[in-house]
Amino acid sequence: MSFRILGTGSALPERVVTNDDLSDFLDTSDEWIFTRTGIKERRICTEETLDDLAMEASRRALDMAGVAAGDLDLIVCSTTTGDHLVPAEACAIAEGLGASCAAFDVSGACAGFVLALDVADGFMVRGRASRVLVVAAEQMSRVLDWEDRATCVLFGDGAGAAVISVDEGQNPLAMSFSTTPDVASLNVPGISGTCPFRPANHAASTLSMDGRRVFRFGVGAICDAVKSLAGQAGVAVSHIDHFVFHQANERILSAAVKLLGVDDARVVRTLRSTGNISSACIPLALDSLVRSGELERGELVAVVGFGAGLDTGACLLRWEQ
């Protein structure tokens, strides 16, 4: 038993924040940011909530799939920046869509969407679901230190989704998950609360990152995952038609592409206009590829997510929509 992706969708906030906008209050410039990251602009939530974006992306995926919310058996959402500590973001999505199925979140940082796909696949294999909505929604702007030019220029907000169903084919052709345990390299401390029995001097819940460490990890994670997927599936890396990598930084993507020796034109890129949206990067990039008409039936798509943890999640799919 396997799954087929029936439809994809994505949503971004209305507010566009350019590099020039950031230079109004940071010691930076468009040239400094773009040459180091490949990012020109990102979308930032102002009036929208993350619930809003997640539901919009989900509706678009459901519309493409031709599936009603009431026919879903499960909703799995990947997020680390939800509108609620409780309930799960997936519960808010279910309520907004009018679904009545089981709904829960997974937390896998930037690899979270691939992890959520695997969780959904497990429910299908066990016969507990036949149609699943898999969502990734992130509001990274709420966990950034907006005085730290090394990190706040990298991230944006958004959501992506996919509707998958049970299929008798062989998808996924391969999957790969790994963790190189390292909490400090990319970390957002939890909220400290107001407990009177604990000291009050806790770190703020803002993101910190060891850029050099994450760079080295990201390049290695992409290369190792792609080779692992190709080996499991018994195909050459050169025979993979499209690569959907986590959109962390253009330097990471370029270095990995060079080491893998693949055609750069086969690598999907969205970060120029969205920045890094954590786990939402991959479904948003996949939706972009689908809606552009560039992805054809029968083609191979390698998907690789990597990030905090340090986690990696990857899968190889034969496109059958």
Catalytic position from the list 91, 171, 246, 249:
246
Give the tens place of pLDDT for each residue, 64-101.
999 999 999 999 999 999 999 999 999 999 999 999 99
pLDDT single digits (tens) 214-258: 999 999 999 999 999 999 999 999 999 999 999 999 999 999 999
Predicted confidence (pLDDT) at residue 50 exceeds the cutoff of 80 = yes
Q: Which of 242, 249, 276, 281 is catalytic?
A: 276
pTM: 0.95
Identify the active-site residue in 101, 110, 152, 315: 110
Per-residue model confidence as pLDDT tens digits over 11-34: 999 999 999 999 999 999 999 999
CA nearest to 117, candidates 283, 296, 298: 283
For residue 229, which amino acid is it? L
Domains (range + CATH), the chain: 2-167 (3.40.47.10), 174-318 (3.40.47.10)
> What is the pairing mode between strands 2-11 and 157-167?
antiparallel
Do β-strands 15-18 and 41-44 pair in parallel, antiparallel, or remain unpaired?
A: antiparallel
Active-site annotation holds for 77: no
Q: Does 249 participate in catalysis according to the annotation?
A: no
Classify residue 41 as exposed, middle or buried by CB count within 10 Å of its CB (0-12, 13-18, 19+).
buried
Q: Which residues contact 293 (CB under 8 A, 6 or more apart)?
A: none
CB 184 within 8 A of CB 207: no
Would you give the DSSP letter of residue 26? Answer: S
Q: What was the pLDDT predicted at 1? A: 53
What pLDDT, on the 0 to 100 scale, is given for residue 321? 74
- State yes or no: is 246 an active-site residue: yes
